[in-house]
């Protein structure tokens, strides 16, 4: 497998899941502005969507979209217990959290990264993000991770997104469980390895 990524982007969540699973994979950085891979290939010829993550499978197939890739990695590495089996309600709770991350957190960070957006628009986006983070803060009352003691692919996604709050200088101290959660997750070997591989730690 080969993971196409950009440092610190949502592709980091997939890298964390792969490392948690102990999977063997290659990776190649993508220049998202120029749409070129590290080896000089035209990224649009590999992934016409033009963004990361993308996972090239051993059979040449290409998968995209972070939620789909996280589920694929978990299902291909069941012994890592990153996602409950089909039919188990716990599986759908994790997928519910992933979808919420995607639609209510991930997309709302867009204005925070856009230099053309006004301060008022950024403030509105930050307020919206905060209301979403508050729900996860409450969920973390029951354990070190989103679903108790077990680290799942939803945690891989959320911890990646929480990393963006530092980049955009968003204060998460109003949600103390999130601060504790970041510290807990950052102590995991797979998370540390993933950060180091992307030059982030």
Which domains are delineated in the chain? 2-80+192-197 (3.40.30.10), 89-188 (1.20.1050.10)
With the C-alpha atoms ordered 62, 64, 70, 75, is the resulting torsion angle positive or negative?
negative
**Range 160-180 average pLDDT:** 96
Alpha helix locations (H) across the chain?
11-21, 43-46, 66-76, 89-100, 110-113, 119-139, 153-167, 176-186, 189-197
Output the pTM of the full model: 0.96
SS3 170: coil
Give the pLDDT confidence score for residue 54 in this predicted structure.
99
With bands split at pLDDT 50, 70 and 90, how would you rate the model's confidence at 173?
very high
Half-sphere exposure of 167 (CA within 13 A, CB side): 14
Beta bridge partners of 2: 26, 56
In terms of C-beta density within 10 A (0-12 exposed, 13-18 middle, 19 or more buried), how is residue 70 classed? buried
User: What is the pLDDT of the chain when averaged over all its residues?
Assistant: 97
Q: Which of 183, 187, 150, 188 is nearest to 19 (CA)?
A: 188
Give the pLDDT confidence score for residue 175 in this predicted structure.
97
């Amino acid at each position: 497998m080969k993971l196409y990524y950009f440092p610190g982007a949502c592709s980091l969540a997939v890298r964390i899941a792969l490392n948690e699973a102990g999977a063997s994979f290659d990776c190649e950085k993508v220049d998202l502005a120029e749409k070129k891979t590290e080896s000089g290939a035209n990224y649009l010829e590999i992934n016409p969507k033009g963004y990361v993550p993308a996972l090239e499978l051993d059979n040449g197939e290409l998968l995209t979209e972070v939620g789909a890739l996280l589920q694929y990695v978990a299902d291909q590495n069941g012994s890592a217990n990153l996602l409950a089996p089909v039919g188990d309600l716990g599986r759908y709770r994790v997928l519910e959290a992933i979808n919420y991350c995607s639609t209510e957190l991930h997309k709302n960070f867009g204005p925070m990264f856009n230099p053309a957006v006004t301060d008022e628009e950024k403030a509105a986006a930050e307020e919206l993000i905060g209301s979403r983070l508050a729900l996860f803060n409450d969920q973390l009352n029951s354990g070190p991770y989103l679903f108790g003691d077990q680290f799942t692919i939803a945690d891989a996604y959320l911890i990646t997104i929480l990393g963006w709050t530092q980049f955009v200088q968003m204060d998460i101290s109003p949600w103390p469980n999130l601060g504790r959660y970041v510290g807990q997750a950052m102590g995991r070997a797979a998370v540390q390895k993933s950060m180091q591989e992307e030059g982030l730690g």
